[in-house]
Structure 1
């Protein structure tokens, strides 16, 4: 198993993320870097706009490890703002205008930004959040209401005459050990927690991706992931370090499969990312002609079902399909796998092998490595591990622990809470969350195991199983298992509750067989494009066998 972690390679560990972009500016200043709707910017123009704003941010006190909140919709201003924060030496904190005001208010207070960047389309959401902070105890100790708010359009005159050359942040002490971004993720306590990621971790991740998948000046990448989701980080910076073209989807465009197909065809997009739930919707909306330009389809964020991978390879025949895995508490992704061309709908889709300079440990409850084929908790070590959670030292100490297997003093690893097992070829099979374990009538049940068995039915596309406790007077012991599923693209089979219960009863004990089965046209999604389990409907009478 130790050989599975032989991933050490050289990479520019001392570089800063925006410096890779600046190298491309020097090589191709007149090439188109950025496209949004009818507007475009060359590499040279994007560099000049970001540098002028960066000088303004430096004048406001932005320096290494200081946070700058950015609350904008997808736009040219978004990319200029992100680059400018990095060029000023700060760490950007994305605030999605689609989030509820209370959540934005907590994030603002917690990250205590030096400045807040916004523009007119997001201004109302930001002001609602700031209004909610005044006189409210959010549980954090920051000065989010006192930070100056900068409108990236209306206030642009303030930095229009500043230098178009990059600020010298190295002389201010900036190194690759400083923060690049803080992205908030859901917390088990109900309060979001900000994962802090450094330049050197992100440099390793971006360098690996370029070595593995090779973008160049002939490529166009479609940026459609909400910037509060860490996949967006490589969507923004990978094409800009490789001399490719970055096309931005319109706000909320990531939810519309027909729109995405039209953008892909119009701009001859070669590379894009999907959460599997959204990939399924896209394949239903797009025809093969709209996808002829695609060369790379990257999936992450959820488990990739074999049926969906099979459909994707059939419908987008000219594209490679990659399955990646990684939590927000690391620099985006830590494992990767390339789907073979002849993948079958019943195949297991592994999350792959550790990427460059990354180690994956699968440990038992005592922290000891498990043998090949045995399930355990995934732990991440190596270059990609985040610094920790902002303002949460106790939670950081709980989740980011000493790495006794690295052979390096002070090395740390992150406890993911995800379950997996090594396969004999050194790839990893993802088995779900350890907190998706439920207890019903005294039996402890892994929902992921039921989902996998249900998805193996040839007529089922995707499957989700939850433990529901409906009704105001429901007791803890009244929980019941409910299965939600979609129909496979070519399914002509009996998918009644009776048929599916019979299928599961053949492979699972009675207590693991759901009592209700709900056929869905599509699963509800969160703003990030992930499955929204809370929005799954209660079963009606026809759902019961």
Structure 2
């Protein structure tokens, strides 16, 4: 069931068509994610955007294919703000699919390649999407759920190539929704989070300022389109670099090998498994630095990183809620003593972090409360699933991390254990 979506432009709620996540906000800045990619493609069309094993995708080829696909999506009925699912078996197809959705003015709903069954039903329910861009590998999962476009089928591209490019493209806007990330309902009953192009640009700018350019590329170690893949991908593209995808059992090794100054991006749990699998006497080709984004990072992972990659700095970005937009960050530098509290980090620009009591009031420095956050570098809206309807929040949400924390006197945030789940409200007692 697709329900009416309501979002606010600051002057009151604005009604948009069912199933749409379009925002009615002034277009103040021209740069969008797809516009950023187009700029790089025009300057360096032969540069490699994705290196996946022995296969690669150039910026020019990705730009051309995405433009063709975006035109076909518009002619196929995708309108501004419409959600479109991207569920592909390889990173090259996923990149083209995401770019096409953004160019068409749609909202990307990325789905990890391994997702199946009830997980897909929930994504359709929460997003209201009717179209999926997929691969032959993932196509069977959508046979009765959505209209599917198979991106590795030559017949699909034959039909697309026969159509003229849409002169109205691109239709994306800086303050329009770029991604809807659907997750299992959290403690607030939220089923998904909406992020606009502006939030991604703010997060990218902050990451480049603190960790440096990714013009030599970014290594990821998981199939598309996991939460950690998105920030890695756009970090590489923002700098004209290559997204390197090694084989599943290749450690950091890529084929062909990335430049020695490439960065690597992982989730904390994923990185812990990778480090654990490396033999004690094996030292993989060291990335320039490693970025962990997602939940809190255990101290054992930090210590193991120092053993395996002693020369590579480690940046730990805590990203709750949608799992892609960082709230806080901490750097562990080679040769420096590791801090007593490895979870003590500082908020990133564009994010306002709060530590609150159960009633929502701020707690004093040194006292423990639940960590929450809001700000322009975070999702601007949340989607709740209630009685089969998808309802968008009228105001920017205050995101709950589900973690306890406290402010330290040096201004850092110390993350602690999970926050207790609120007890359900007591209903009326039967006489």
Determine helix, strand or coil for the equivalent of 2:257: helix
Instruction: Give the total of aligned pairs.
Output: 392
CA distance in 1 between partners of 2:398 and 2:159 (Å): 44
Q: Which residue of 2 aligns with 1:75?
A: 91
Q: Which residue of 2 aligns with 1:435?
A: 420
| Aligned counterpart for 1:259 among listed residues 250, 259, 270 | 250
Q: Which residue of 1 aligns with 2:399?
A: 414
Residues 223 and 247, structure 1, Cα contact 8 Å, conserved in 2 = yes
**Residue 120 of structure 1: CA displacement?**
1.0
Q: Which residue of 2 aligns with 1:215?
A: 213
Determine helix, strand or coil for the equivalent of 1:234: helix
CA distance in 2 between partners of 1:397 and 1:126 (Å): 20
CA distance in 2 between partners of 1:306 and 1:110 (Å): 36
**Residue 344 of structure 1: CA displacement?**
5.5
Q: Which residue of 1 aligns with 2:243?
A: 246
1:337 aligns with 2:330: yes
Q: Which residue of 2 aligns with 1:182?
A: 180
Determine helix, strand or coil for the equivalent of 2:311: coil
Q: Which residue of 1 aligns with 2:368?
A: 375
**Residue 35 of structure 1: CA displacement?**
1.2
1:168 aligns with 2:165: no
Instruction: Return the TM-score normalized by structure 1.
Output: 0.65
| Aligned counterpart for 1:43 among listed residues 34, 56, 59 | 59
**Residue 330 of structure 1: CA displacement?**
7.4
**Residue 311 of structure 1: CA displacement?**
2.2
**Residue 290 of structure 1: CA displacement?**
4.4
1:299 aligns with 2:292: yes
Q: Which residue of 1 aligns with 2:11?
A: none
CA distance in 2 between partners of 1:158 and 1:192 (Å): 39
Deviation per residue, 1:99-127 (Å, 9 max, x gap) = 34122123224322242111111122333
Residues 381 and 397, structure 2, Cα contact 8 Å, conserved in 1 = no
| Aligned counterpart for 1:424 among listed residues 409, 413, 418 | 409
The CA RMSD measured in Å over matched residues stands at: 3.3
Determine helix, strand or coil for the equivalent of 1:260: coil
Change (3 A) 1:82 1:242: same
Deviation per residue, 1:334-386 (Å, 9 max, x gap) = 21110133465783212521111211111122322222221111121211232
Unaligned 5+ residue runs, structure 2?
1-27, 424-431
Deviation per residue, 1:379-432 (Å, 9 max, x gap) = 2121123233335479x999979xxxxxxxx76522333211112221111112
Change (3 A) 1:309 1:437: farther
Residues 189 and 384, structure 2, Cα contact 8 Å, conserved in 1 = no
Determine helix, strand or coil for the equivalent of 1:353: strand
Q: Which has the higher contact order (CA 8 A, sep 6+)?
A: 2
Change (3 A) 1:290 1:194: same
**Residue 62 of structure 1: CA displacement?**
1.8
CA distance in 2 between partners of 1:436 and 1:13 (Å): 40
Change (3 A) 1:346 1:265: farther
Aligned 1:71-150 pairs, distance under 5 A: 71-127=87-143, 130=144, 145=145, 147-150=146-149
| Aligned counterpart for 1:390 among listed residues 374, 383, 386 | 383
Residues 218 and 263, structure 2, Cα contact 8 Å, conserved in 1 = yes
Q: Which residue of 1 aligns with 2:428?
A: none
Residues 65 and 89, structure 1, Cα contact 8 Å, conserved in 2 = yes
**Residue 198 of structure 1: CA displacement?**
1.6
Change (3 A) 1:331 1:123: closer
Residues 373 and 400, structure 2, Cα contact 8 Å, conserved in 1 = yes
CA distance in 2 between partners of 1:246 and 1:228 (Å): 13
| Aligned counterpart for 2:271 among listed residues 276, 279, 282 | 279
CA distance in 2 between partners of 1:99 and 1:192 (Å): 20
Residues 87 and 166, structure 1, Cα contact 8 Å, conserved in 2 = no
Deviation per residue, 1:156-207 (Å, 9 max, x gap) = 111124567985244xxx4222211111111258998122222211121112
Deviation per residue, 1:271-319 (Å, 9 max, x gap) = 2222333323322333676434311111132322223212212321221
Change (3 A) 1:167 1:397: closer
Deviation per residue, 1:234-257 (Å, 9 max, x gap) = 12211011111112345xx2xxxx
Deviation per residue, 1:434-457 (Å, 9 max, x gap) = 13799xxxxxxxxxxxxxxxxxxx
Instruction: Return the TM-score normalized by structure 2.
Output: 0.81
Residues 206 and 238, structure 1, Cα contact 8 Å, conserved in 2 = yes
Unaligned 5+ residue runs, structure 1?
1-11, 131-144, 402-409, 439-545
Change (3 A) 1:227 1:387: farther
Q: Which residue of 1 aligns with 2:21?
A: none
Comparing 180-189 with 423-432, greater Cα deviation is found at 180-189
